[in-house]
Amino acid sequence: MRHLISLKEQTRDDLLTLLKLAETIKRRRQAGEPTNYLPRQTLIMLFQKTSTRTRLSFEAGMTELGGHAIFLDAKTTQFSLTDFRDEIQAVMRFGQILMFRAQKAADVITAAAYDRVPVIDACSEKYHPAQALSDLLTMSEAAGGIEKVKKIAWLGIENNVSNTLMLAAAKLGIKVAIAAPEADKNSVDPELNAVAGATGLVKRTPDLAEALTDADFVHTDTWMNMEFFENGQVRPEFKSEYERRLRVFAPYQLNAEAVERYAPAARIMHCMPCHVGYEISRDAIDHPHSIIFDQAENRLHMQKAMLVWLLEKEKEIL
Ligand code: CP
C-alpha cells in the first residue's frame, strides 16, 4: 500500500510520475474536461492543527475528482477521550484515504503502519509532502520543465517543509542551498538528512550570498510554529522563544534587496501563510518574480495527483 509521509519511501520515478499526473490533471481541468477519476471514494481529513490551503486544496480536489471529503477537526472528535490507536483504526474504516495534519509525525506513521488505507502526512512537525510536491510542480512550470530546475535556495529556519522539499529536490538531481541559522529541533529527522546528504546536492551555509548565487528559486517559511499562536496572538508560554527567534532569523529574511543583489533572476516562493515583515517582506511577496499565489493554487492540482496516485489509478490517466 502507498503512503505519502516523508518522501523517503518514494523513488525518483515516483516523484516524476506525481509531477506528470499533476500537470496532466491541471491541463485537463483548464481545458474544461472532467477530472472525476475517484467516483464514490471518500477522503477523511483529520486536523489537529489549523489550516487554510491544505483543507481547501484537498477538499476541493476530492470534489473535482468525483469523490467526497470529510473534514474532522480533532477538537470536535473523541480523540482526547481515548487511546489514539483505537480511534484512528475506527476512523480509517470510513474512507479510502486518510489525510492527517498531526501534532506528531509518529501518529501519522502509526496510522500508516496499519496499512488499512493510504495515509498522507498533511504537515506534522517533521514533514509536509503535499507542500513539497506542489512546490516542485510550481518550479517545473516556471522553469519550463523540472529538468531545468538546477538550484533552490532555502532561507530562514529548517523545518518540516524544507525537510521534504530538500529530500524530493535532491532525489530529482536539484541542488539545494540552505541558509538557516538553526533547525526547528522537533523537525529534525537524521535519517532524512542522511538520505538527502548522500546525494551530494545539499549545501548548508550561513552565507546568504553563497546560498542565493545562481539560485533559480528562493523559498522560505515562517520562523514560528503554529502552536506559538492562539487567535492570532503569541501564547504567553512561547513569548520568549518567539522573541529569540525574531533576533536569530532576522538576517535571513527573504526580501527584494537580497534577491536583486544575489539572485536577480530567481523566482520568489513562500508556502504561506506569510508573516509579513518577518521571514518575508511585503516587497518580496509583491515582487514581479513572486510566484507565491501560483504556488498556493498548485496545492489543488498536486493534491489531486497525490490522491489518484495513492489509489494506484495513474495508469488510467497518463
Ligand atoms: N502551506 C500550508 O500548508 O498552508 P495551510 O497551513 O494554510 O494549510
The 10s digit of each residue's pLDDT in 231-260 is 889 999 999 999 999 999 999 999 999 999
Q: Is the CB of 51 under 6 A from ligand 1?
A: yes
Tell me the per-residue pLDDT of 123-169, one tens digit each, with 9 for 90 and over: 999 999 999 999 999 999 999 999 999 999 999 999 999 999 999 99
Determine the distance separating the centroid of ligand 1 and the alpha carbon of 4, expressed in angstroms.
17
CB 42 within 8 A of CB 36: no
Ligand 1 atom at shortest distance from the alpha carbon of 52 = 7
Task: Select 130-296's CATH number: 3.40.50.1370, 3.40.630.30, 3.90.120.10, 3.40.50.150.
Answer: 3.40.50.1370
The number of the ligand 1 atom at minimal distance from the alpha carbon of 226 is: 6
Verify whether ligand 1 is closer than 6 Å to residue 301 (CB atom): no
- C-alpha torsion angle, residues 292, 174, 304, 22 (rounded to 10): 100
Residue from 121, 114, 273, 239 nearest 189 by CA: 121
Q: Is the beta carbon of 271 within 6 A of some atom in ligand 1?
A: yes
Q: How many angstroms separate the Cα of 222 from the Cα of each of 61, 184, 249, 281? A: 25, 11, 10, 12
Quote the ligand 1 centre to 268 CA distance (angstroms): 17
Under 8 Å between Cβ of 56 and 109: no
Look up residue 16 and give its three cell numbers. 516524476
For residue 266, is pLDDT > 90? Answer: yes
Is 57 near ligand 1, meaning CB less than 6 Å away? Answer: no
- Confirm or reject: Cβ of 52 under 6 Å from ligand 1: yes
CA dihedral 142, 148, 151, 153 (to 10 degrees): 10
Q: Sign of dihedral through CA atoms 192, 198, 202, 207?
A: positive
pLDDT at 39: 98
| Region 307-314 average pLDDT | 98
Break the chain into its structural domains and give their ranges.
12-128+299-313, 130-296
How many angstroms does the Cα of residue 51 sit away from the middle of ligand 1? 5
Write the pLDDT tens digit of every residue in 160-213. Answer: 999 999 999 999 999 999 999 999 999 999 999 999 999 999 999 999 999 999
Same fold, 12-128+299-313 and 130-296: yes
pTM to 2 decimals?
A: 0.97
**Cα 22–chain centre separation:** 15
CATH number for the region 12-128+299-313 comes to 3.40.50.1370
Q: Is 123 left (phi over 0), alpha (psi -120 to 50) or beta?
A: left
User: Where do the DSSP E strands lie in 88-199?
Assistant: 97-101, 119-121, 151-155, 175-179
Residue whose CB lies within 8 A of the most ligand 1 atoms, among 123, 163, 228, for a mutation test: 123
Cα separations in angstroms, 15 against 141, 171, 210, 266: 15, 8, 28, 23
Quote the DSSP letter at residue 206: S
Which atom of ligand 1 is least distant from the CA of 296?
A: 1
222 CB near ligand 1 (under 6 Å): no
